Every structure is written in C-alpha cells, then in structure tokens.
Amino acid sequence: MVVRTFLVRHDDSTFTVDYDTDDGFEVFQFQLFSLTSIPPDEQKIVGEDNDRIVSDDSDLAALSEKLQLISITSDEARKPEKQEETTSSTAGAGNFDAGTSVMSDEELARMLQAEEEALLLQQYVAGDNDAQFEEKVRPYISKVLLYEDPVRQEVARKTVPLDNLEEKALVSLAKEGNFKPSKVEEDHAFLLQLLFWFKRSFSWVNAPPCDGCGNETTAQGMGNALPSEIQYGATRVELYRCNSCSRVTRFPRYNDPLKLVETRKGRCGEWANCFTLYCRAFGYKSRLVLDFTDHVWTECYSEALGRWMHLDPCEAIYDRPLLYEKGWGKKLNYVIAIAKDGVYDVTKRYTRKWNEVLSRRTITTESSVVSVLTSITKECRRNCTSQVLSILEEHDNIEREALERDLRDDAPISLPGRQSGDKQWRIARSEFGTDSLSSSSCTVRICCDEHVTKIYNAFSSILHKFVEDSLTAPKGVEVLKILRATVVDLKKLSYKKRRASLKPNSIVGTSLVHQLLPSFKELLNALTLKSELDSNGILSVCLAGNPVQTALALPVALHALDELISDLSKCDNFSKGSLSFPLLRLNRICSGAVLASGEELPFGIATAAFDGTRMSKWEEHNGAKGCWIMYKLSANMQELVAYELMSANDAPERDPMDWVVEGSNDGGSSWHVLDERRSEMFDKRFQRKTYNVKSAGFLSNMFRFRFLAVRDVKSTSRLQVGSIDLYAKQN
C-alpha cells in the first residue's frame, strides 16, 4: 500500500486528499466527488505544473501533488483546449454509463493517414461488383415494407403484455428517481422493456426438437419448401432427423414477420426480423441492420438520446454498437441499415478500426457503394413530398456527421462474446469471446430506496401491536400471511387499477383484522395504498397516490413479508423482548450515492444491491479475486452498527466469502476498518445473513465493502450479491 497526498484546487478552495494507490483511479475520483459534489464523469483533473490531463493511475503517478479539478459542465471546461478534442457520451434513460475519450491532434492525424492509405490500397484490391453488392441489399427492401402493414402491426401488438411492460418501464425510471417522466423518457424506457420481453418470449433454434417425441435431432441437409411455407417466405427449409425415433422434422426459415409472431422461434435473421416489426408496431422509427459477415439486428431512433440506437434482440443488449467488433471479435466489412425511406451505410457506428475494415470492403469501391445506396434510397423516396425529402436529407447529413464522430469516440468498456446459439456453433464462428454479460466500470449512482427503509420500519407498528394484543407467534404469522396474500393479489392486477381485499381465514377472523388495521397504516402508506371499508363490511386496500410508487414498493413488501414470516415462525417465546434486530430492521440507511469497481449491464448495476428485492443483484465481472462497492451518505455522518448481505438467485460459486467493511469520516480520504469476515458461506439462494459491526463508535459519511474472495474462485471470475442493507445506530 502506497499513500500519496494530493492538494486539489477547485474554484477558490483547496482540498487535501490522501490516496491509496492500490485503490485505483476511480476511487480517487469518488473521493473528489465526496469533497466537491462533482460526479466522476463530469470531472476534469489537470496537473497544475504542466497542464497534463489526468485520466488514469499512470497519469497520477507521473504528476506532482498539485492538481486542479474542473467540472466539464463549467464554462471553463467548455472553452476550446489546445491539443485536445473531447467527446462525451450522452447519458439518457436506460443508458447506464457515461465515458469521456480524448484524441490528440497527433492521434487524429495518424488515424486519417491510415484511412487514406487504406482507401488507396482498396482501389487496387476492390472488385467491380456493383451488382453483387446491390443483390445483397435489395431483397431487404421488400422485407422492411412488411413492417408498415397495419394488419401485421396489430397482430404483433396483441401479443405484447402492454400493461406489464408499461409498468416495468415506469418502475425502471422510478429507480433512477424519475417519478414524473416525459413522454420521450417513457417511450425510451418502454422500448428497452420491449427488448427484454422479446428476449424472453422468442426461442433460439440450434436444432429443433423432434415433432414426434421431442428428443434431440441431427441436421440432414435442406429440403424443398411446401406451398404453405413459401406463402410466408420460407424458400429454405432445413431437415433434422430424430436421434431416437428417426422421424424427420422440418425447420422452415420464414421471412414473413407475421408468421414469426406465431412461431416465435428462429435464429438471428428471424429474431431481428420479428423484433423490428414489434418496434414499428409501437411507432418507433426503426431499421433492420444487415451485417455482411452474417448477423442481423435492429436500430431505433431514440428521441431521448437524440440519435440512432443499436438493439440486438438475440442478446437483449442495447446501445453497444462495438459489441461485435470488441466483444465477439468480428471482422466487419459492410453494415447496412435498411428502412422504408432508404438504405444507409452505418459501418462506422460499429467499428473503431475503420482503416482495417476498409481493407476488407473488397466487393466494390467506396464510390460505388455510395452510388448504389443513393440509387436505392431515391427509389424508396420517390413518392415523398419535397418537404419530407428536405427533412430526410437533413437527417442524413446529421447522421453522417455523427458517424464520423463515432470513429473518434472509444470509451473503455468490456463487452461480451456472443451468448445466443450453441456453444460449439459460436466457437466455430469465432464469436464466443467471454461468457459474460456486458460489463463496465460504473458511474456514481443514487439509491432511490427510501421506500425500502419505510417498509422495514412499518413492520415495527405491526409487531408491537401483536405483543400489545398478546398474539402468539403462530397467530401473528397467520396475520402476516393475510397481508402477503393481499400484496400478491395487488401485484397481479394492472398497476393503474390496483384494489384487493384483506381476506380473513379460519384462524384470523374479520374482527381481529379490523382490530389490527390501525397498525397496518404505516405499511400501507409506505406502499402508497389506503384502506377502505365498503357497505358490506369488506375491507379493501387500493391506490392512494402515484401508482408507480406502489409498483416500485410492492415487490419489496412481498420479499420483506416472506422473511418476516420465516423469522417469526422461529420465535419460541414471542414477547416484547423479541422486538429487536434482526426481527425488527430499523434505521436502515438509504438514499446514498453508490460507486463500485465494476458492474454488469443492464441488470447487475451497483444500486441493485440496495433496492430491497430478490429480483435483482449486483454483479462484478472481475470481482472473484477482489472488488469493492462504496456507499456515500446523503446526510449527516452515521455510526454503522449492523449490516446484512443476501445471496443472489443462482451460481453459489459467486457468493462473497471474505470481505472487509470500512468507514470514512472524511469523504474517502482515509478509511477505518469496521468489520472483517472470513470463510463465510451462504447455504441457499436468497439467504440473508446478519452481522453486527465489531468496531463500534466510529462515525462515517462513507462506507466501503472490499470483497476479497468468492466461494469458488477457481470456477468463476465474477462476484454477485443479492442485497446489502446498512443499519445505523438509533438516536
């Protein structure tokens, strides 16, 4: 461990920062965030002696102790800098990371020189095959026009659980603190939920199961298409023989998305074809994207981001255009986007090695590519009015400029190999890469989890009422089961119209439910619900405010009730003395800022550890041998007296086993060990383990978990945690 002391000047203030070089540059940025409230992705750190920009550990090592911190949103940061060009990615709804890349004039000159040389070489190696290039693209024009058919769109819409996806979209925004999103933000979030739903509802076909007995089959070659198959564009039919009963199963490769909405199976061609129809059915400006190296995906124009966004339905990955080159290791050549109003060469969006790609674009010359695409686009637009043409041409120019900028933006991110398809098939295509979800260093995220703390606190009133009314633990469990059943009923209903009754049972009668009703009020408030008694004496609960707040809180209440029922069932002598931690989980810390050494996108982000549900988890792709997560308080310093960890839904080998918990009272400049654990084992999934802090009495405004090892470091590179709950000393 090496500690360096930096003097960091920001505006009119100077801060002293003690930095442990073992922690990494991101921790240093988080320390500055704690002191100045400038998030890491908005920080520009400059050495005062030589004006060198600091972007990693090596830069820090080469500089003296005097630094200057500038916010990139300030006027000073927006001034043109000599020898520097800065491009920031836009963080919109659902876009989880914002990175900054810097390209010097020298690097830009080298890139342009390499491009010129590649273009010069291409003149000698490119063929004169305009017709071959056009034949590759033109068949897709008729395919994308099918997406405009109102009948096909209506059939597609009817298969979508619209209310459910709307709820998930709004909850995803609420988790970021956005309870009143604009229409643009809602549309963006809904599109992402449509992508995730499609991934779950569509089936990938390696070899279809036998039509007769359902056993595995082996490919036997191609067969002739039947008229009923040709009707839906299946000009190719694959044949498979059953390994058990020898029956032959047909796998028609349908091209009509209307049929694909019915069959819901295929490979990347069927997936992208069908998903693009869904996107058009819900009004998104969409394109089918053809990769000449044998892949297909979708692009949609995101009003929230103000640009075209990549969506791969096979992988359920979005806005990661470098997935194929960086993650899969593809050697791209031509990537063409096809829409109803034209065809577009978007290859530059999907590569950061343009000069290498140029060397592989040998079907025809670049000028011929432009000529062919321009000609097809004019055909697509021949019935457009002059006003529409003007708008389309303006959009074309904007996109061309954006594609040129994309070539210079290379924010660091780890991307996965291909996940869809049989493992051997992926390896044979050289697309296997790493068997991981998309991972990234993470930005500072705010925990919108006040509802979790309110729900935990609300059970205090209920349990105290049990003791006051001398209810036994078994009877108290029955009351909680009634509450749980009500929560389950509410979750099944439309998020806009939730209403369910509190149903007494043979053990807990109506009179007891009414007697206990006042103790339920705090829990109902935490769920944005209220109770109502109708003229027939039936007690119901219904919405009392923003339905999204209820949608966000119901899963937390359900999982908390499950745990409380389990804990209360184990109470042999339920009394006032039982009303303590961990049966009562009071004073849970919430609404802080979180930063981690890494996270999995989009489902394993750092704040997932603090959202109070079993449906999510924090994953660190490279965390098996060491990683960290930090939590910065939003208010005054607190004394941490206990914490809880929960195992995640799967993969026991990724459970944390060794860790250290630390606190800081100076925003992360220095750390004090609060607790250490070794050889901890989680026996089952969703197991919550409670730990009292060994080193009490230390006030902190930041906490850090340093996970040192997972349960089986030999079999995994990842760490995952289902949840983390921090508890402060009660005043």
pTM above 0.85, yes or no: no
Whole-angstrom Cα distance, residue 311 to residue 195? 8
Tokens of 439: 């991972």
Instruction: Give the residue range(s) of CATH 2.60.120.260 domains in the chain.
Output: 586-728
Instruction: Give the residue range(s) of CATH 2.20.25.10 domains in the chain.
Output: 208-264
Q: What is the mean pLDDT of residues 264-287?
A: 97
Whole-angstrom Cα distance, residue 705 to residue 663? 9
pLDDT(345) > 90: yes
pLDDT band at 83 (very low <50, low <70, confident <90, very high): very low
Burial 212-235 (b: 16+ CB within 10 A, else e): eeeeebeeeeeeebeeebeebbbe
Task: Give 588's DSSP letter.
Answer: B
Predicted pLDDT at 120: 62
- How do residues 679-717 score in pLDDT, each as one tens digit? 999 999 999 999 999 888 999 999 999 999 999 999 999
pLDDT(437) > 50: no
Predicted pLDDT at 70: 76
Whole-angstrom Cα distance, residue 364 to residue 112? 21
CATH superfamily of 586-728: Galactose-binding domain-like (2.60.120.260)
pLDDT(356) > 70: yes
pLDDT(57) > 90: no
- How do residues 235-260 score in pLDDT, each as one tens digit? 999 999 999 999 999 999 999 999 99
Helices 450-468 + 510-526 axis angle, to 10? 160
Among 80-84, 151-155, 196-200, 589-593, whose mean pLDDT is lowest? 80-84
- How do residues 577-595 score in pLDDT, each as one tens digit? 899 999 999 999 999 999 9
pLDDT(94) > 70: no
Whole-angstrom Cα distance, residue 478 to residue 508? 7
pLDDT(284) > 70: yes
Instruction: Please tell me the class of the 3-71 domain.
Output: alpha beta
Predicted pLDDT at 317: 93
DSSP 186-244: HHHHHHHHHHHHHHHHSEE-SSPPPTTT---EEEEEEEPPPHHHHTTT---EEEEEETT
Tokens of 513: 């439910």
Whole-angstrom Cα distance, residue 595 to residue 446? 9
- Residue whose token pair is 């709004």: 170
SS3 669: coil
CATH topology (fold) of 130-161+196-205+267-407: C8orf32 fold (3.10.620)
pLDDT(403) > 80: yes
pLDDT band at 52 (very low <50, low <70, confident <90, very high): confident
pLDDT band at 112 (very low <50, low <70, confident <90, very high): low
Which residues, including other chains, have CB under 8 Å from residue 202's CB and lie 6 or more apart? 264, 265, 266, 270, 271, 274, 275, 313
Q: What is the mean pLDDT of residues 648-661?
A: 96
Tokens of 370: 């432009």
pLDDT band at 99 (very low <50, low <70, confident <90, very high): very low
Instruction: Give the residue range(s) of CATH 3.10.620.30 domains in the chain.
Output: 130-161+196-205+267-407
Architecture of domain 208-264: Single Sheet (2.20)
Instruction: Give the residue range(s) of CATH 3.10.20.90 domains in the chain.
Output: 3-71
Query: What is the chain's mean pLDDT, rounded?
Result: 87
Predicted pLDDT at 524: 98
Predicted pLDDT at 43: 81
pLDDT band at 84 (very low <50, low <70, confident <90, very high): very low
Whole-angstrom Cα distance, residue 46 to residue 376? 50
Looking at the annotation, which residues are catalytic? 268, 295, 312
Q: What is the mean pLDDT of residues 628-652?
A: 95
pLDDT band at 409 (very low <50, low <70, confident <90, very high): low
